[in-house]
Amino acid sequence: MLNAVNLDLATALLGAVRSIQSNPTIRVVLMRGNGRAFMAGGDIATFDQPPEHRAKHFSGLMDAVHAAMEILMGLDQPVVASVHGAVAGAGISVAMAADLVIASEETRFTMGYTKLGVSADGSISWSLPRLVGLRKALEMALLSDVYDAPEALRLGLINKVFAANTLEAETECLVRRLSEGPTVAFGKMKRLMRQSDGRTLPEQLRAEEAALFECIDTQDFASGVRASLNKTRTDFVGK
């Protein structure tokens, strides 16, 4: 199974992230693929449409994927992508929308869009330059070369690389750690980082102040302060 993106998968993804968005009890989000790959791009078999049907087909597909990506990157909860096998096309778009990405050592990454004669979608043209810089992002996008996991780590596409037989255990460890953290503070921190490019320094400082004041009204802040003073384990509840 390569988890290629078609309208059914895109619609299911949008439904899943909407469900997460409406459920404040969820503390962390994990994305991973069944079978041999995380996601090997779009379902090319469904792309072979008559010219008069192409716009309708791709509009429905992108509407679902793009709505899902916007929700996913705006969640308070940390989003982890645990990837293996092929991470290509739409798959790299989805993976790069996560906050943290860990990979097995056999993972391969490629944009792949230009091999089909199309430009990118799924938010990758927004996230990739922020991760690797404009020059490298253009190289990756225009040439559609394949990058192995160590190179992806060096470029900053991913956070860590693990042996294939330890990826599941390492994923569970990371997810558990995040699930026990201060969810509100995580959300504020994510937005500060993701929105900083569009702000001046004074604007960012005001945003930091506003976020901090919202955090100090939470139960987690009170628990964290008490635990630090008493030198005990912090029991965050996510609110």
For 47-95, what is each residue's pLDDT tens digit? 778 888 788 888 888 899 999 999 999 999 999 999 999 999 999 999 9
> For 97, phi and psi rounded to 5 degrees?
-75, -15
User: Is 109 inside any structural domain?
Assistant: yes
User: Is 224 inside any structural domain?
Assistant: yes
User: Is 105 inside any structural domain?
Assistant: yes
User: Is 198 inside any structural domain?
Assistant: yes
**Helix, strand, coil shares of the chain as percentages rounded to 5?**
60, 10, 30
User: What confidence tier does 173 reach under pLDDT thresholds 50, 70, 90?
Assistant: very high
Q: Are 27 and 102 within one domain? A: yes
User: Is 1 inside any structural domain?
Assistant: no
CATH number at residue 31: 3.90.226.10
Q: Are strands 160-162 and 147-148 parallel, antiparallel or unpaired?
A: unpaired
User: Is 238 inside any structural domain?
Assistant: no
Overall domain count for the chain = 2
Residue 177 pLDDT? 95
More confident residue, 47 or 21: 21
Domain end call among 179, 198, 222: 179
Q: Are 206 and 160 within one domain? A: no
User: Is 239 inside any structural domain?
Assistant: no
Q: Which residues contact 6 (CB under 8 A, 6 or more apart)?
A: 42, 43, 46, 61
Q: Are 148 and 214 within one domain? A: no
CB 85 within 8 A of CB 103: no
Q: Are 102 and 143 within one domain? A: yes
Q: Are 163 and 76 within one domain? A: yes
Please state the rounded mean pLDDT for residues 140-159.
Answer: 96
Residue (of 27, 20, 10) closest to 178 by Cα position: 27
User: What confidence tier does 238 reach under pLDDT thresholds 50, 70, 90?
Assistant: confident
Q: Are 120 and 196 within one domain? A: no
pTM of structure: 0.90
Neighbours of 96 (CB within 10 A): 24
Neighbours of 5 (CB within 10 A): 24
List C-alpha distances in Å: 105 to 27, 37, 38, 153, 211: 28, 13, 13, 10, 37
Q: 110 - beta bridge partners?
A: 88
DSSP letter for 46, please. G
- Give me the sign of the Cα torsion angle 67, 160, 194, 180: positive
Q: Are 170 and 130 within one domain? A: yes
Q: Are 72 and 150 within one domain? A: yes
CA–CA separation, 42 and 46 (whole Å): 9
Domain extent, residue 63, equals: 7-179
Q: Are 190 and 157 within one domain? A: no
